[in-house]
């Protein structure tokens, strides 16, 4: 079976809970999945260490889920990269990351 690659895009704080639930379902249902979560716009605040779902993200990361934050959004929302989780990969532009991953075969999912 071909490895499933999924990119979950979140750009609203209100969508984090649903996104993480979807990620968990995908992780549990797919055989050897490759999962990437890209946050941009205000949703980058979800990576702050004191965010209520931060521990859930850490646990998903330990299971192989990759989390990315748009640097443009971090700057635009006055989020210091020192204040987000160490497991979060900072990419220059979330929209470019999304486009590149789609070209690389990732399914785009936006809960």
Q: Which CATH class is domain 5-109?
A: alpha beta
pLDDT band, residue 3 (cuts 50/70/90): confident
90-103 pLDDT, tens digit each:
999 999 999 999 99
Q: Which residues contact 92 (CB under 8 A, 6 or more apart)?
A: 70, 71, 72
pLDDT of residue 1: 57
13-58 pLDDT, tens digit each:
999 999 999 999 999 999 889 999 999 999 999 999 999 999 999 9
> Nearest 5°: phi and psi at 60?
-65, -35
Per domain, the residue ranges of the chain are 5-109
């Amino acid at each position: 079976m071909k490895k499933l690659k999924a990119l979950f895009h979140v750009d609203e704080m209100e969508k984090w809970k649903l996104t993480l639930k979807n990620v968990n379902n995908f992780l549990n249902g797919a055989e050897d999945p490759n999962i990437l979560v890209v946050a941009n716009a205000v949703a980058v605040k979800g990576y702050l260490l004191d965010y209520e779902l931060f521990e859930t993200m850490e646990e998903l990361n330990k299971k192989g889920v990759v989390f990315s934050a748009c640097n443009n959004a971090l700057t635009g929302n006055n989020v210091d990269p020192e204040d987000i989780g160490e497991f979060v990969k900072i990419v220059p532009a979330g929209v470019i990351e999304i486009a590149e991953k789609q070209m690389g075969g990732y399914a785009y999912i936006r809960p």
